[in-house]
Structure 1
Amino acid sequence: MLKNESDIIRIIEQDSWMMEILKTARTLDLPDWWICAGFVRSKIWDTLHGFNERTELPDIDVIYFDPHLDSEEAEKELEAKLARIHPTIPWSVKNQVRMHRVNNLEPYSSSIDAMSKFPETATALGVKLDESDSVILAAPCGVEDVLQLKLRATEYFTKTEERKKIFEDRILKKGWQSIWTNIEVEHIYK
């Protein structure tokens, strides 16, 4: 069973597909890069639900923080580079230095700061590799919720009615409870 960050790192390091994806993303040599969100969360929830098959991901979210490469065109070029290595992977590459504008938020200071402002605590997770191929885990909102199968809003998404609505809409749209039936959702109400 999974109990802590070390257990999460272990299951990722033992997953040859995930390690290959991480090694591929590292080839871009991006500053402050991470693969985040569903890539990590789904692995944890699949494991906790005893799934033998990996839940299909709509995309692989590669994020980075580079004030010198601040354009959507640059991100598309990076996605194309990754697609040349692994053409069947649905890559999504986003520079967090510009994503605050897309999300109508205050500027982020780093990729981890951006992760802390993701809608759900269970999604505010990222992994990358160090120079010796060891997995590094970033969990700015902690790992307790994802390990306890709790789906709750990050503190950032409890501050305004607009953000609360975004969280609630995502819960409905994503349909996570139909895939991982043991998830408990903590709804936000006025």
Structure 2
Amino acid sequence: MDRASPDSSLHAIVAASPILSTILDRWASIDLPDCWLSGSAIAQTAWNSAFGLPPEHGLADIDLVYFDDADLSEEGEAQQAARIRDLFCDVPLWIDAKNEARVHLWYEPKFGYSITPYQSNEHAISTFPTTAGAVAIRPDTAASISIFAPFGLDDLLNCTVRPNKVQITQAIYEAKVARWRKCWPRLTIIDWHQF
């Protein structure tokens, strides 16, 4: 018997999630440049599927990332985020829309060190704190999704949390791991110094 490909496995997990599938079903109305559904919500939905938990278990928010280097204003990003939250007011989670083209403007005050401006959404996603969370999806056709996963899907589908040390600190990684360990105690968590 053939095993499903990682892409088709992720597609099936996403399709079974009432929250993620609702967002993808209304994708055309999001209307943001180079937009992706990304980050921890995808990983956590996959973990819930693997561990037999409800699809929304442990999800804190949904991240939509877009790339608009023509408008780096905080106000522009806030307006887009408010519009998206209105669009999905029936979704029971906070939905955040972030313009990855402007992350370098607020990163240092929040995290204590500066970063160079991202050149694209793919560049930004490649710096996400964990390999399992560095995944983004968006509809490709009515029946499929595009997947951007710079580290592949193995860690995501095998419930393995591994640091992506491109940009984050050990403290940022360990704070994420501490929360996730409480919600998903069966995760395989790779120690910061082990990788």
TM over 0.5, shorter chain: yes
Q: Which residue of 2 aligns with 1:113?
A: 123
Question: SS state of the match for residue 27, structure 1?
Answer: helix
Alignment counterpart, residue 128 of structure 1, candidates 125, 138, 142 = 138
- Give the letter aligned to residue 15 of structure 1: S
Q: Does 1:171 align with 2:177?
A: yes
Question: SS state of the match for residue 130, structure 1?
Answer: strand
Give, in whole Å, the separation in 1 of the partners of 2:124 and 2:70. 17
Could you list the per-position Cα deviations for residues 132-179 of structure 1 after superposition, in whole angstroms to 9, with x for gaps in the alignment? 36321111121111112111111414xxxx72232123323xx11121
Give, in whole Å, the separation in 1 of the partners of 2:189 and 2:18. 31
CA contact (8 A) 1:41 1:123 kept: yes
Alignment counterpart, residue 36 of structure 2, candidates 26, 34, 37 = 34
* Unaligned 5+ runs, structure 1: none
Q: Which residue of 2 aligns with 1:186?
A: 190
Deviation at 1:106, TM superposition (A): 1.5
CA contact (8 A) 2:81 2:98 kept: no
- Give the letter aligned to residue 135 of structure 1: I
Question: SS state of the match for residue 176, structure 2?
Answer: helix
Q: Which residue of 1 aligns with 2:110?
A: none
Q: Which residue of 2 aligns with 1:81?
A: 83
Alignment counterpart, residue 11 of structure 1, candidates 13, 19, 37 = 13
- Give the letter aligned to residue 167 of structure 1: Y
CA contact (8 A) 2:60 2:94 kept: yes
Give, in whole Å, the separation in 2 of the partners of 1:15 and 1:9. 10
The root-mean-square deviation of aligned C-alpha atoms, in Å, is 2.3
Alignment counterpart, residue 23 of structure 2, candidates 21, 24, 33 = 21
CA contact (8 A) 1:60 1:89 kept: yes
Change (3 A) 1:23 1:102: farther
Change (3 A) 1:2 1:55: farther
Change (3 A) 1:78 1:133: farther
Could you list the per-position Cα deviations for residues 78-122 of structure 1 after superposition, in whole angstroms to 9, with x for gaps in the alignment? 122122222244121111111133332122121111011011111
Q: Which residue of 1 aligns with 2:105?
A: 101
TM-score (norm 2): 0.83
Give, in whole Å, the separation in 1 of the partners of 2:177 and 2:163. 10
CA contact (8 A) 1:9 1:137 kept: no
TM-score (norm 1): 0.85
Change (3 A) 1:5 1:131: closer
Percentage identity across aligned positions? 27
Give, in whole Å, the separation in 2 of the partners of 1:115 and 1:100. 14
